[in-house]
Amino acid sequence: MAEYTLVAEPGRDTGSAASRRLRASGRVPAVLYGHGLDARSLSVDARELRHALSGDAGLNQLLSLKVGSDTHLALARSLQRHPVRHTVVHVDFQIVRRDEVISAEVPIVVTGEAKAVEQEQGIVEQQLTSLTIHATPDRIPGHIEVDISALTIGEAIRVSDLTLPPKVTTDVSPDEIVVLGTITRAAIEEEAEEAAEGEAAAAGEEGEAPAEAASEGAGEADSGAGGSGGSAGDSEEG
């Protein structure tokens, strides 16, 4: 992963009022810590920070953070955003080493189309949107892809089915569901309606058969009665 150079200014004033003034000037309050360094208050340009973290790596972008005459290899570990404008109001930077294994949260990206699920009027539920992985800073992937092309109703893609890059591991349970193909409520209701209609039709056919049999029996009875009457008449005439 290529590093992004970000320049920070040390020695900012602390406190809410000072932070508001800093943001008004287009800068973001920040803190740098890690590897025995006492936490240092500093600030970075808001636009440069946005550019640094807007690439494929996102928050896992490896940074070459220049603070005065010092340069630190760092990651943006925590971003606080404004509740309405969603702009970054504070950021924590953590110093890392190239040879150390660290933890990172990596987004899971769904690819492909689950046509078998769509044909059954189902939906694809992504139950796990990110995965905690362990790797050296230069091996942290920007994202992890999961192909749902072969997914069917009732089938799940689990953590054990994910393909992780070399030397990247995770402690998340291999049985954890990432994506699930499931049927929708509308499809369930439609199936129930079709089943009810089928049962009603079958019941109607069964009811018609006895009625027809009874009608035929009545006709035979009438015919028999008429025949008896004719014989009686013939006898009287005789």
Residue 175 lies in a domain: yes
Model confidence over 34-52: pLDDT tens digits? 998 889 999 999 999 999 9
Average pLDDT over residues 188-205: 64
pLDDT at 237: 44
Contact residues for 180 (Cβ-Cβ < 8 A; gap 6+): 124, 125, 127, 155, 156, 157
Beta bridge partners of 29: 43
Find the CATH number of the domain harbouring 21. 2.40.240.10
What is the average per-residue pLDDT within 97-111?
95
Asked if residue 153 is part of any domain, the answer here is yes
Q: Which residue do the tokens 């005065």 mark? A: 68
User: Does 12 score more than 50 pLDDT?
Assistant: yes
pLDDT for 13: 72
Residue in 140, 136, 159 with CA at minimum distance from that of residue 58:
140
> Over 90: is that where the pLDDT of 188 sits?
no
HEC profile of 95-159: ECCCCCCEEEEEEEEEECCCHHHHHCCEEEEECCCEEEEEECHHHCCCCEEEECCCCCCCCEEEH
Confidence grade of residue 198 (pLDDT, cut at 50, 70, 90): low
CATH of the domain at 128: 2.170.120.20
Evaluate if residue 209 carries a pLDDT over 80.
Answer: no
- Verify that 83 and 51 share a domain, yes or no: yes
Query: pLDDT at residue 177 above 90?
Result: yes
Residue 53 and residue 74: Cα distance in Å, rounded? 12
What angle (nearest 5°) sits at the alpha carbon of residue 200, between those of residues 194 and 203?
140
The answer to whether residue 205 is domain-embedded is no
pLDDT at 229: 47
Strongest mean pLDDT among 156-165, 176-185, 198-207, 214-223: 156-165
The reply to whether 92 falls in a domain is yes
- Beta pairing class for 144-147 and 102-111: parallel
Helix (H) or strand (E) holding 94: strand 88-95
Q: Is the pLDDT of residue 18 over 60?
A: yes
Instruction: Return the pLDDT at 211.
Output: 54
- Please indicate, yes or no, whether residues 126 and 87 belong to a single structural domain of this protein: no
Cα–Cα distance for residue pair 107/105, rounded to 1 Å: 7
Structural domain count, the chain: 2
- Is there a contact between 9 and 70 (Cβ–Cβ < 8 Å)? no
Query: What is the per-residue pLDDT for 15?
Result: 74
Whether 67 contacts 32, CB under 8 Å = yes
* pTM for the structure as a whole: 0.70
Instruction: Provide the pLDDT for residue 123.
Output: 93
Residues 113-129, mean pLDDT to the nearest whole number: 93
What dihedral do alpha carbons 77, 50, 127, 102 form, nearest 10°?
Answer: -30
Mean pLDDT of 125-140: 96
- Rounded average pLDDT over 125-139: 96
Let me know whether 92 and 157 are in one domain. no
What is the C-alpha to C-alpha distance for residues 1 and 141, in angstroms, rounded to an integer? 8
pLDDT over 70 at 29, yes or no = yes
Report if residue 172 sits inside a domain: yes
Range of the domain at 120: 104-183
Q: Is the pLDDT assigned to residue 184 strictly greater than 70?
A: yes
235 in a domain, yes or no?
no
